[in-house]
Amino acid sequence: MQTYFQKGLGLKAEVAPLLDRDYGSNVIGRIKELGYAAQAGGLTIRLAREFGFCYGVDRAIEYAYEAKKRFPDRRLFLSGEIIHNPSVNQNLRDMGFTILEDGRVPETRYSQVAKDDVVVLPAFGVTVDEMKHLRGIGAVLVDTTCGSVLNVWKNVSKYARDGFTVVIHGKHYHEETRATASQALLHPGGAYLCVRDEAETQVVCDFVRGMLNRDAFMERFSQAVSEGFDPETHLERIGLANQTTMLMSESLRVQEMLRRAYLEKYGAAELPVRFRSFDTICTATQDRQDAVLRMFEETPPDVMLVIGGYNSSNTQALVRICSSRCPTYYVESPECIDPLTGALTHRTLGSSSSETIMDWLSSSSGGRLTLGVTAGASTPDSVVARSIERILAARGAGTADLRGILDAA
């Protein structure tokens, strides 16, 4: 009996209507037909040209639905959230999936899983140790790891094979980064270091330049390095990779900061054998970032709404781009918008709590307000549509009132 599925379960056509029912939206289709811009309720609503579900997320959810269809009588598990979107994960719970708690020890994390149970692995991937443990149990594995992540793993493996320490621009606690880092350890002497941002990168650069001692370095990165990491040895040669959902502009700055430090330390002739890098931001992440940048260049909104899970890195990157250009509000679900009063419960980056505000869509000029809308790669069209519906309801309008810009003029 086949126990490992990486290319679906052959039931795509059968689950397609269910996926469209749960995650599609005629409202979004209507706004797209109107040129990604529509007016109603005293608002001009502009959608980013690229937003919401990417191919990898579509594929992950499709495989989960196929698993349910193929194994209706088996126990179904998700090794953590399949993607970082609360409505999608709740929907899978309602379908009978048990979402396992995050954890570093496979024996603990998968203690509920027995032989012949079905475990769906998330789009972020799982660590080498987790995969080995699950195969040992004899569970049926449905692997939805995104192709972009797999591409990073291949390059990280090459770095480690060639004796380069892998430096990952990403959050060391994120599922994807942990899975990626584990690939470096497949090779003898493999090691990794995770840097979250430019501030942490600067610490690495200071060490390379001899401005920081070993103890200070290890105190800063004790949770973000491989076991036995020694910066005096492991930072002699590095290969740079990224968590695929990070902000591209920041990843490029991280890369340049490290390249310059190694250039100064070792000189141009030595640089190729000391420093390697490649672009590992996924295409979908970059497309969504580029789309909001184009929106601000072409038709700058007065206010921006970004929709996505609060633990979604690619959604956070969109918030960072938008918030530097106009008032930006970050919401996790349509329920953050009160359809009666218009009150908005939103969260600022870096905060672990939300706040509720009124009049976030008021115009000081009294004219029509332009609201820009985008969503992270884990956010379905249905969630974006319901968010728009609740905004319009609070303004005494409905989606049937949506008109094109020229039609409403």
> The sheet that has 43-47: what strands, in order across it?
37-40, 43-47, 369-375, 303-307, 328-331
What residues are paired with 46 via a beta bridge?
Answer: 37, 372
Which of 330, 334, 337 lies closest to 292, judged by CA?
330
Type and span of the H or E element at 141: strand 140-143
Q: 236 an active-site residue?
A: no
Residue from 62, 81, 176, 250 carrying the catalytic annotation? 176
CB crowding 193-223: b at 16 or more within 10 Å, else e:
bbbbeeebbbbbbebbeeebeeeebeebbee
Residue 245, Cβ density class (10 Å: 0-12 exposed, 13-18 middle, ≥19 buried)? buried
Query: What span, in angstroms and rounded, lies between the C-alpha atoms of 175 and 44?
Result: 38
Residues in the chain: 409
If you compute the radius of gyration of the chain from its CA atoms, what whole number of angstroms results? 23
Query: What span, in angstroms and rounded, lies between the C-alpha atoms of 298 and 35?
Result: 13
Residues taking part in catalysis: 176
